[in-house]
Structures are given as structure tokens and as C-alpha cells.
Structure 1
């Protein structure tokens, strides 16, 4: 388990990262990549969407262009404060502070559950994926964006020491263990040589 796959360490990490997150994030995960992923979900205007690990609200902004029924959840109070500054505490987004492995929502609540840049910090990603499946309506979609496993061994060792990086085979295992049977992966990248993201869209059986 990587250093940041620990909830307490991750909260401390984001306490400081939240100050510069919106300036750093576009070098790895930019608007074009975000919007490409959102387009694959075919979100309807009346769909209810949850952004798990919403952070400062970068993905939330894009999701609001597809539907006005957007909810955000994050474990970091510092990240949420940045999100409040953008949207307001009681604005267009219903924010919750909580844990991806114990989502504070009833079964079959959302049409879409989205999470980008969060799975790499989950100590038990399969548990969190099970939670995402639980709160998604039958026929709904779950989209997860995480860091693709580096191809060079020196970066692999560094990646393993920090947080969760995974390839398509590992993604298959995690999603299958979480009870998903219908899913697909695609790789996204800001520019040649930049870190790759592995994006998975899974459907909940009807």
C-alpha cells in the first residue's frame, strides 16, 4: 500500500495541495480530458450525479453543464472549502463530507456516480467500488478515473511507494470483485509524455 493510501495522510496531503490544486491539476487532468469523459456518459438533464472525491470541484463544474442535479463528496475539509468558494455552501451543488468506502446515501440514489483523481487514495478500492454500485440506480453508470500504471520500472517503483496505480488487468479485477460485469476502459492523456489516466465506465445491471 502506498504512503497516501492512508486516510489520515491523504487528508494532510490535501490540506496543503488544496492551496495550489487548481493550478497544478490541468497539467495532468485538463478540461478537454474531463469533458471527453463526461461526453461518454450521455448524461440527461434530469439525471442525478454524484462526484465522489470532488475536491475543489474541477469535475463538478463540467458535470453541472450536463445536469443541474449534481452532488459532491470529499473527505478533505480543505478541499471542500475551495469548492464552497466556487459554488457556495448551499449553491447549485449539494456537498457532503464523507468517505468513499462508506457513502452516506441510500441504495439506488443516483443515475451516475463519477470519481476522478480519487481512487488512487482509497485504501480499499473494491469496497468503494461496491459502494458506488450500491448507490447507483439499475441501468445507471459509474465512471472512475485513476492513474495508469507506468511502463518504466523506475517509475513503477516510485508509483507503488506513493499510491495506487493500476493497469487494465488490475482494473478488471477490481471491478469484477466489486460485482460489475459490464464495463470498459480507455486511456486518456494530456499530451505525449504526460501521465496517463485510465478511465473506466461500468453499468449497473437493470
Structure 2
């Protein structure tokens, strides 16, 4: 388990990163990548969508292009404070402070669930994926963006010591273990040589 796959350490990390997050994020995960990922969800006006690990609201902002019924959850109050500055606490988005592995929502609540840049911090990612499946309606789309494993063996060792990095084979294992039967993976990249994202689009079993 990586250093930041610990909830307390991750909260401390984001206490400081939140101050510059929106300035450095586009080098790894930018609007083009976000909008491409959103196009794979087939969202419709009126859909109730949950953003798990919403952070400063970068993904949330994209979801709002499709629907006004948006809910954002994060464990870092410092990240969420940045989101409040953009959307207000209870105006355009309903925000919740909570844990991705114990979502505070009833079964079959959401028409779609999105999570970008969050799974790599979860101590038990399969549990988080199971929770996302639980709160999504049957047939709903669950989309998860995480960091793709580096190609270099040395880089992999360094990456794994920090947080969760995974490839398509590991994503297959996690999603199957979490109860998903239909899913596909896409590799996204901000620019040549930049870190790659692995984006999984899954369908909640009927």
C-alpha cells in the first residue's frame, strides 16, 4: 500500500496541495481529457450524478454542462473549500464530506457516478467501487479515472510506494471483484510524455 493510501495522510497532503491544485492539475488531467471522458457517459438533462472525490470541483464543473442535479463528495475539507468558492455550498451543487468507501447514500440513488483522481488514494479500492455500484441505479454508468502504471520498472516501484497505480489487467480484477460485468478501459494523456490516465467506463448490472 502506498504512502498516500492512508486517509489521514491524504487529508494532510491535500491541505497543502489544495492551494495550487487547480494550477498544476491541467498538466495531468485537463479539460479535453475530462470532456472526452464525460462524452462516454451519455448523460442527459435531469440525471442525478454523484462525483466521488470531487476535490476542487474540476470534474463537477464538467458534469454541470449536462445536468443541474449534481452531488459532490470528498474527504478533504480544504479541497472542498475551493469547490465552495466556485459553486457555493448549497447553490449549484450539493456537497458532502465523506468517505468513498462508505458512501452516505441509499441504494439505487444516482443515474450516473463519476470519480476522477480519487481511487489512487483509497486504501481499499474494491470497496469503493462496490459502494459506487451500490448507490447507482441498475443500468447506470460508473466512470473511474485513475493513474495508469508507468512503463519503467523503476518508475513503477516509486509510483507504487506513493499511491495506487494500475494497468488494464489490474483494473479488470478490481471491477470484476466489485461486481461489474461490463466495462471498458481507455488510456488518456494530456501530452506526449506526461503521466497517463486509465479511464474505466462500467455499467451497473441490471
TM-score class normalised by the smaller sequence? over 0.9
- Structure 2 distance, partners of 1:64, 1:187, is 24
User: What corresponds to 1:141 in structure 2?
Assistant: 141
CA deviation map 1:107-139 (0-9, x unaligned): 000010000000000000000000000000011
The RMSD of aligned alpha carbons is: 0.4
User: What corresponds to 1:65 in structure 2?
Assistant: 65
User: What corresponds to 2:175 in structure 1?
Assistant: 175
- Structure 1 distance, partners of 2:39, 2:68, is 16
CA shift, 1:205, in A, is: 1.6
- Structure 2 distance, partners of 1:91, 1:46, is 16
User: What corresponds to 2:45 in structure 1?
Assistant: 45
User: What corresponds to 1:125 in structure 2?
Assistant: 125
CA shift, 1:55, in A, is: 0.2
CA deviation map 1:118-170 (0-9, x unaligned): 00000000000000000000110100000000000111111010000000000
CA shift, 1:185, in A, is: 0.3
CA deviation map 1:55-86 (0-9, x unaligned): 00000000000111110000000001110011
Matches within 5 A, 1:155-166: 155-166=155-166
CA shift, 1:192, in A, is: 0.7
Return structure 1 stretches of 4+ with deviation > 6 angstroms.
none
What TM-score do the two structures reach when normalised by structure 2?
0.99
What secondary structure is seen at the aligned counterpart in 2 of 1:200? strand
Structure 1: which 5+ residue stretches go unaligned? none
- Structure 2 distance, partners of 1:148, 1:164, is 9
What TM-score do the two structures reach when normalised by structure 1?
0.99
User: What corresponds to 1:8 in structure 2?
Assistant: 8
User: What corresponds to 2:85 in structure 1?
Assistant: 85
| Count of aligned pairs | 206
User: What corresponds to 1:99 in structure 2?
Assistant: 99
What secondary structure is seen at the aligned counterpart in 1 of 2:160? helix
